[in-house]
Amino acid sequence: MGCVPSKALIRAVEGLHHARAANRFDGIEAGARVTGWAATVAQKHALVEELRMAKYADVLPRHENIDYIEGRARFDDAGRLTVDGDVFPAAKIAIATGARPHVPAIPGIEAVDALDSTSALELTELPTSMLVLGAGYIGVELAQLFARAGVEVTVISRRGVLPEAEPEVSEALEGYLSEEGIRLARVSGYESVARDSGGVRLTGTGGESFEAEQLLLATGRVPNSEGLNLGAAGIETDARGGIVVDAQMRTANPKVWAAGDVTGRDQFVYMAAYGAKLAARNAVAGEARSYDNGSMPWVVFSDPQVAGVGLSEAQARSAGHEVVTSVLPLDAVPRALAARDTRGLIKLVADAVNKRLLGAQILAPEGADSIQTAAMALKAELTYEELGDTIMPYLTTVEGLKLAAQTFEKDVAALSCCAG
């Protein structure tokens, strides 16, 4: 349920931002402020508990052929599954133990009582200042969340904002975050961290020094695989502890499958559910369904949102494609002009030989709800010409995909509205 609390609070502070930005429309003034953060967090918590019961706890009893047992499971030295030390008979096993926030190996880190993506969202009082270590998905989302709530935020990273995204997207988003008052710092490494009466002090290997009341770790997640004694069962793990599985989600042990964050790949709740469904069908029904993430959409709930699917330009070139790209600034999209919010861009990647779409990334206030159209286009193996010819509703963000597709070979500035 980690995704729900963050998105609930992100939506809450969006209201603050929208009120403050209302003056972009002539004749309109508005304002908003936090009057009781504890109440906001309590409302979030109530939603999480409601969904936990409705979508998890109350689901199992509806299935007569499922027994729920609480206990600590691990393999014994003979490779047998045990629960609380007792051998548990199981002909087939699926491991879905998830992942936890990564704690970087920085001298002093264990003594500073740092926040992670779970504990930060449980704070009932807002700190005056915060250091966010890491600028990936989680770091960006939480940094903007707390900054909009009134916290002075500094984001510290070694590779910059969203380093896996297209460089045009990362650069633009970094600028938008900076405009909101978020300080962004790049370091080559971390020397030490310590807490004193004034808060937390982080020192970089280049002599940089950063101070704040709280430190939030957003440096990724680690699979929960240690302690299971996997080696005794012949189950292999990678360098980060992720359980190695084949395309059918089976481990090196032919009786054991694994799915979700514990495999270390595609750490999104919907991909965990997808992988678990495949593992269950393959294990129980003897099917041979294969995991396919070729058209997997991903979203960063920043503002503007970042969403993508398929290959980036660099990935496409590495895969051996002759690549052609299209980059459309959002000020060419009528929806953005009408909303007076042109922050963002759309980038499409295609094969130069056959014009088939290979990937897409969207940076836009409503980008998350538009990326699925690009995902379907990739799944259908459309060319950019076919996407550009697709009928899309006027004054929508998704229309930007059509315009970006047309930009491969046309100057969209020379087209009238809705023209193709």
CB atoms within 10 A of CB 343: 19
CB distance 406 to 419 below 8 Å:
no
CB atoms within 10 A of CB 104: 13
Q: Estimate the share of the chain in helix, then strand, then coil, as percent rounded to the nearest 5.
A: 35, 20, 45
Torsion of CA 169, 100, 116, 40, to 10 degrees: 90
CA–CA gap between residue 52 and residue 35 (Å, rounded): 28
CA–CA gap between residue 9 and residue 129 (Å, rounded): 18
What is the pLDDT at residue 420? Answer: 57
**Fold classified for 69-101+222-284:** FAD/NAD(P)-binding domain (3.50.50)
- How many residues are listed for the chain in this entry? 420
Biggest alpha carbon–alpha carbon distance for the chain = 75
Nearest-CA neighbor of 319 among 311, 330, 331? 311
The parts of the chain modelled with pLDDT lower than 50 are: 1
SS3 24: helix
CB distance 34 to 127 below 8 Å:
no
Which tokens go with 250? Answer: 């089976």
**Fold classified for 298-414:** Enolase-like; domain 1 (3.30.390)
Task: List the domain boundaries for the chain.
Answer: 69-101+222-284, 298-414
What is the pLDDT at residue 43? Answer: 95
Would strands 93-95 and 86-87 be described as parallel, antiparallel, or unpaired? unpaired
Nearest-CA neighbor of 416 among 352, 334, 296, 359? 334
What is the pLDDT at residue 419? Answer: 55
CB distance 82 to 227 below 8 Å:
no
Amino acid, single-letter form, for residue 203:
T
What is the pLDDT at residue 197? Answer: 83
What are the counts of helices (DSSP H) followed by strands (DSSP E) for the chain?
10, 19
pTM for the full model? 0.93
Phi-psi region of 344 (alpha: psi -120 to 50; beta: other; left: phi over 0): left
What is the pLDDT at residue 294? Answer: 95
CA gyration radius, the chain: 24
Amino acid, single-letter form, for residue 341:
D
What is the pLDDT at residue 1? Answer: 46
What is the pLDDT at residue 61? Answer: 81
